[in-house]
Structure 1
Amino acid sequence: MTNIFRKLTFQETLHRNQKVILCSFPYDLQLLKEFRKTFPSAKWSRTHNAWYVKDSTRYRSRLKLPLPEIGDVWLSKLYEHNKTEFIKFRNALTQKAFSPNTINTYLSEFAQLLVLLKNHPIDAMTSERLNSYFLYCIKRLKHSEAQVHSRMNAIKSYFRLVLNKEAVFDNVIRPKPHKQLPKVLSKQEIAKLFTATKNLKHLLILKTAYGMGLRVSELIALKVNDVDMDRRQAHIVSSKGKKDRYVHFPESLKPLYLDYLKAYQPSIYLFEGQFSEQYTVRSAQSVFRNAMKKAGINKGSGIHGLRHSYATHLLEAGTDMVFIQKLLGHNHIKTTEIYAKVSNKTLSNVQSPLDAL
């Protein structure tokens, strides 16, 4: 720990209706310069006579302060009984060893029902009341089929894991899901995307996502030690469903990769933030959006579109569907088969009767 952290004292408080962390230390010009350099976004509060930063996971990690548990943000909004049930559900999800992202999603979906229920106990909910609530989500909240399915899955998990009453959902009506096709960029558009990206780090982010077909969560979790240049492969650790897999490291990526390592010298994660912390999903998405804008491509696709494009282009190049399934880390071949529906090679083999006239 550096000298500055040894001399800092912290206090959590509210400032202008925002949770902040006050940072106090004895006045010393050199110490002040070091603090301002380390925390350029810190602001001075006349009211508290101290510097402060936003109370966030990022700053708590940097200041070595205890991190809040997933879902803590909801506790103050819940009545006592339902707060207890919320904590039981969080404990059950943790015990099941679900990923932090899954736990956060399930708790957020579950909490929104608890907020609406106020002091009505969640464990007394019947199938009829659950159907009324989901109808409210569709008609009043204008939730999509996918959003309603997500909320149903979360609440059903509570009834199954905490109450052992999964049968309550036997009479709950699920909306028919909308089967949306993946948005795919053409090879020409992929090339334009790369050409428009001048920043070395950003270019490697985009080429790694496309060249290995990675989910954004896998991309930001990739560590320097996960890349094996000798074997030309990358180890994707504890991916979706807590499964590991190996993916091919493209030979054409090697020069850019080595230039990046020399220029940025990442310590743990291949892609790190300003303070050597893990790159965020939001930052990776922003890199993709900016590149799309610079390239003049307007397809409404997120960075996950690079993974869709990787799979589609492999299929169009004649790669066996089973190999694509393994490279993508899909459990079922049916998940991979959706790319056959967007493949130009597949569609172009079908002749319209208009052309036969």
Structure 2
Amino acid sequence: MSVLGRSESTCRNYGQHVAAMALHFGKIPTELDIEQVQEYLFMLQERSKTPSQTYFKHCVYGLRFLLKSEGLPYEYLHLPSIKHDKKLPTVLSKEEVWRLLTSCQLLKHKILIGLLYGCGLRCMEVRSVRLQDLNFDREQLKVVQGKGKKDRYVPLSKHLICGLKTYIEAEKPKVYLFNGQPQGRAGGDFDSRYSQRGVQWAVKQACKAAGIKKDVCVHTLRHTFATHLLEDGLDIISLKNLLGHEQIETLNKKGYFRLKKEGS
């Protein structure tokens, strides 16, 4: 999976699901009977608490990769097809984004949310921003090895640059813009990234403080960034490049075209 360019989280998720199934039966999944596979998947589907059934889906994806790695067709285990829900992404209004930013109690969280929205970053991308990736003279941020192992540049607004300078002066980060917990012994250097859970918590807390009732997650700010640019007249090719997508069709799959058409 690593050689084929899959992300660390994908390798971990697929590996954990295949391992859990192997431990459950005491056999490698490709040695199981079709009935055993179907019963196990049904058990996961019934146990899943979320409407998206993420756990069930990741198990199927992990099994698909296992079959692919062994040169076997998906039909070998009679794996079900996964239907993708055609739902429009949640998008905040510009007024809601302003309320979100002004409701942040910590400057760190305000700048974090400012980058997620102002640059359309993914969670992993904002966690990975280093001081050396910021170019205030050219008003750019270099996103290093984003999804798909691609680099890209995104613009920084003057307002965001002003906030970044204030934050850096106050917090004095050394490597990553947003520090995590000290590594090693107590008092160690802050040289680790802010955790994924920390980013998620910051966004949830800001939404709560701002009184926003929509179902907002970290990725909502990226959807909002894209939708607002489309509404302001940005062309599709430029938006695709800013988001770091390979193909324009990806924007359609995520519902951006429908959002613009429906005026959400």
Range into which the TM-score falls when normalised by the shorter chain: 0.7 to 0.9
Residue matched to 1:289: 204
Q: Contact (CA 8 Å) 1:237, 1:245: kept in 2 or not?
A: yes
Residue matched to 1:214: 121
Change (3 A) 1:189 1:116: same
Residue matched to 1:341: 258
1:40-51 to structure 2, matched below 5 A, reads none
1:26-37 to structure 2, matched below 5 A, reads none
Change (3 A) 1:133 1:314: same
Q: TM-score, normalised by structure 1?
A: 0.66
Change (3 A) 1:205 1:348: closer
Q: Contact (CA 8 Å) 1:213, 1:328: kept in 2 or not?
A: yes
Greater share of strand: 1
Measure the CA separation in 1 of the matches of 2:152 and 2:34: 41
Moved more, 168-177 or 318-327: 168-177
Q: Contact (CA 8 Å) 1:145, 1:175: kept in 2 or not?
A: no
User: Which of the pair has the greater relative contact order for Cα pairs under 8 Å at 6+ separation?
Assistant: 2
1:225-244 to structure 2, matched below 5 A, reads 225-244=132-151
Residue matched to 2:224: 309
Amino acid at match of 2:22: L
Measure the CA separation in 2 of the matches of 1:260 and 1:317: 29
Structure having the higher Rg: 1
Q: Give the alignment partner of residue 331 of structure 1, picking from 246, 259, 262.
A: 246
Change (3 A) 1:265 1:169: farther
Q: Contact (CA 8 Å) 2:139, 2:157: kept in 1 or not?
A: yes
Task: State yes or no: 1:197 paired with 2:114.
Answer: no
Residue matched to 1:321: 236
- Match of 1:300, SS state, is coil
- Match of 1:342, SS state, is helix
Q: Alignment identity in percent?
A: 31
Q: Contact (CA 8 Å) 1:289, 1:302: kept in 2 or not?
A: yes
Aligned length: 253
Residue matched to 2:187: none
RMSD: 2.2
Task: State yes or no: 1:273 paired with 2:190.
Answer: no
Measure the CA separation in 1 of the matches of 2:134 and 2:197: 23
Amino acid at match of 1:251: K
1:152-167 to structure 2, matched below 5 A, reads 152-161=60-69, 163-167=70-74
Q: TM-score, normalised by structure 2?
A: 0.87
Q: Which runs of 5+ in 1 are unaligned?
A: 1-92, 350-357
1:135 CA drift (Å): 2.9
Change (3 A) 1:328 1:253: same
